[in-house]
Structures are given as structure tokens and as C-alpha cells.
Amino acid sequence: MRNEPIRPVGRRAFLRGAAGLAGLGAAGALSGCGSGSTLAGLSVSHRQEGSLDYWNLFGGGDGVRMVDMEDGFRKSFPNVGLNAVTLAWGNPYYTKLSLATLGQKPPDVAVAHLTRMKTLVAAGLVEELDPAELETAGMSADKFSSRPWQAGLVDGKIYALPLDTHPFVMFYNKDVCKKAGLLDGDTLAPMDSPEAFTEALSKAKKATGAVGGCIAVTNETATPWRFFQSAYSQLGGKVLADEGKRVVFDDDKALEVLAMMQSLSKKQLVPGSLDYEGSIATFANGDAGFLFQGEWEIATFQTAKMPFSMTTFPNIYGGADGYAVQADSHTLIIPKQPDNDPARRRSALEFIKSMLDQSKTWAEGGHVPAWQPFADSDAYRSMTPQSNYAAAADAAVYDPEGWYSGSGSNFEIVVGSSIGAVVAGQLEPKAALRQMHTKLGVLARTAQPT
């Protein structure tokens, strides 16, 4: 990854080029919230009088949409000089944000995954938001979706405002599914048991003559974890407790899911050696009926002009525990400021409100809006396939709490590597589970760095 500063003049052109490349071959590297972004950025903030500094980690299509939203703010607030910086996705972003804040040179507003935000709060790096202050700014709690709002509270206090929920979803090729007899009109047949799920993939495989579905596992850790966590949570399984200090796998449930995932590759229903880019290309080329991935890849398949749609990840193990799916949320935070400047604070809240008011632009990229004025609108309900999986936001299961957990974290690297090795046939489920127990145990016993 490059760590040198992005040149401000070329940012829009670079992002638009990145979005074009995301069409097929570079889709994984440049996805808005995927395994990683190739973008790097600045490590200090300007803090000029009359300016607003904003940091984010959006690449690919998400990056293009964010630039459009930033321009929307500039148009509405022409007297505020917005300095927007994009940094490398994952640990590099959160390291730079932490260091800048500790060095008393934070941005005025920053993006943080909900699953990473709480670690920043625990380190004293995020400003608390007063309910009365938010009410005045037009951003009271009732304006946000309940699940991400509640999940983002820390000891009942507000530190972050959710922009979206981005769940793990199922893409499907409509032509393949019709040929396979999996469509009733425009409705996909339910896959509400391991047997029904496997049968659907088997029928899709016969229809394509290649594979039934795609799961990226080679040089990829986030996707295997997201798939596993979705199915495992449907069984009511947990991984960590006591803010990451204990590893609490339900071994029987974990082994059941791991065995199911391995059976898919053993039966050649999914490839055991596809990387992120390969999974995108396989689905886009019509060689798979299904793709299991984050909803942000919607722009890739729209650009490819293929006959696809999207729906919630299957309720494979729903049963008495109900539906659950792995997800995260992008939130907007105000990093801890070195001074109490009411004007900067007011500008920061105006910027956040502007981003929320532009939720239509953001939802076009696949993310489920957390801003209820738009989420409850006819405009969103008529937006398909984006609104097809909106219910997933209410069933979102966020990564377990712990200083080493969250999107793009060491936790996801550890568990995702082991789960991916199971699908690839490199590890048996019991060996993978032992490996996860051992490696997570080391992290659980390690004190949070200060």
C-alpha cells in the first residue's frame, strides 16, 4: 500500500478511474468496503480558519459517490472550505486517525466503522454528542434506524451517527436461476435449511455447467468470516465475550457451520480457490448462479449490464433463533478536538447532516440507509434491487466487541484465514476451530495497546 499523500487536484479523476477498473478485474481491491482499498492519504489535518477537515476510507464506486456528496456540501455551504482526505482502508486508516488525534491534529469529522468506533471511544479519541445538540441540528435519535443506533451507543451515550448498514448479501443471476427452476416469477425460492441451500446451489451448477455459487477465500479473510458469522449467528452462536477478554465459541455450532461450508467446495458447488477478483469475474461472466459478498459490489454488475438481482443472505439456520446476518455500519464521528471551538463544532454537525440528507446518493451504491427520512420514503422503496434486502439492517449482527475486533481487524484476519482454509480444503473443521481458539486466545489475553 502506498502511504504518500494524495494530491488534492487529482482526487476526483483518480476515484473515477478506480470505479471504472472495479468493473471486473480490480473489483476486490477497489471495492468501497471490501478487503481493502489501494488509496492512501494524508496523516495531518489543515485546521485552517473557516475550513472543515474530513477523513474517510472510501474507494471505488463508494469513493465516487462520497466525492459527489462532498460537492453537495460545498454547494450548500460555500463559505466553508472542505478539505476531504481519503486514506487506506482498514488498520492503516484507524492507526493514522488515532495518531492524528493523539497528536492534537485530528480532522473535524471522520468516518468510522461501528465495529471500530467503540475502540476509539475507549481510548478517549471521540467527542461525545449531546442529545440536545443533535436535536437542534435536526439529528435526533428517532431519525435513525434503531439497530445501528442502539448498537453504536456506548454506556448509553452517543459518540457516532450511523450513515448506513452494509450487510452480507446474496447476488443472483436471474437467467441462471430461471433456467435452474429457482424463480417463481421474479421471486427466488427460499433457502431456509442447509438442505434447501445446497439443493439451490446444485441446481444452479447444473444450469451454468460450471459452479453454483462463489465465495472468495484465496488471499481473502473478510468474506469467509462474513459468511460464517451470518450462518453461525442464525444458530445463536457467539465468538467473544467480556469485551474480547474471553473466547466463547459454541464448538458444536461452529463445527456444524464449518462442515457445511466445506461440503460446498467438496461437492464442487463453490470453487475452493477463488480470490476476491476471481469471484466477481466468475459471477459477472455467468459461470455461477450466486455470489455471496457485500452489497457494495452492486455497481460492478450494473456496469457489466448482466441480469442480476440481490436479496438477503439465506436464512439457512434461522429456526427458533430467527434471522441474522453479518453486517457493519459506516458512522460519522467527531474525533477528540484540541480546543473547544463552537464554530468548528457547528460546521462539523452541518457537514454530518448534509451527508445524511444525501442518503439517496449513498444508497445507490448498495448500502442500506440509516437515515429514516429517506429509508422510509417511496424513493427508497422504489430503488431496486437496493431495497430488496433492506430488512437485513434490522437483523444485523456486528463483529463481537474487543480492541482487536471489527472490520479489517486482526480478529477478522485470524478467523477469516482459518475459515477460508476450510473451504479451500486445506484444514478440516476441527483443526480450524482449534486454530481459531488458540490465536484468538492470545489476542484475548493481550491488553489493549495504549
Q: Are residues 433 and 380 in the same domain?
A: no
Strand partners, 276: none
Q: Are residues 173 and 87 in the same domain?
A: no
Cell of 357: 440528507
Q: Are residues 308 and 342 in the same domain?
A: no
Tell me the per-residue pLDDT of 411-442, one tens digit each, with 9 for 90 and over.
Answer: 999 999 999 999 999 999 999 999 999 999 99
The pLDDT score that the predictor gives to residue 91 is: 86
How confident is the model over 98-112, as a mean pLDDT? 97
* Confidence at 186, pLDDT banded by 50, 70, 90: confident
Contacts of residue 119, defined as CB under 8 A and 6 or more positions apart, other chains included, come to 94, 403, 406, 448
Q: Are residues 136 and 179 in the same domain?
A: no
What DSSP element (H or E) covers 284?
A: helix 276-284
DSSP-H helix ranges across 103-153: 114-122, 131-136, 146-151
- The number of distinct structural domains making up the chain is 2
Which residue range(s) make up the domain with 143?
Answer: 8-166+329-390
Q: Are residues 159 and 181 in the same domain?
A: no
The single residue listed with the C-alpha cell 458469522 is 229
For residue 130, is pLDDT > 50?
yes
| Spatial distance between the Cα atoms of 214 and 235, rounded to a whole number of angstroms | 23
Q: Are residues 109 and 249 in the same domain?
A: no
Q: Are residues 235 and 295 in the same domain?
A: yes
Tell me the per-residue pLDDT of 242-286, one tens digit each, with 9 for 90 and over.
Answer: 999 999 999 999 999 999 999 999 999 999 999 999 999 999 999
For residue 18, is pLDDT > 60?
no
Q: Is residue 420 part of a domain?
A: yes
The pLDDT score that the predictor gives to residue 42 is: 41
Q: Are residues 175 and 224 in the same domain?
A: yes
Q: What is the CATH number of the domain that holds 209?
A: 3.40.190.10
For residue 320, is pLDDT > 80?
no
Q: Average pLDDT over the chain, rounded to whole?
A: 90
Q: Are residues 138 and 176 in the same domain?
A: no
Tell me the per-residue pLDDT of 210-233, one tens digit each, with 9 for 90 and over.
Answer: 999 999 999 999 999 999 999 999
Cell of 37: 482499498
Q: Are residues 408 and 293 in the same domain?
A: yes
Q: Is residue 95 part of a domain?
A: yes
Q: Are residues 25 and 58 in the same domain?
A: yes
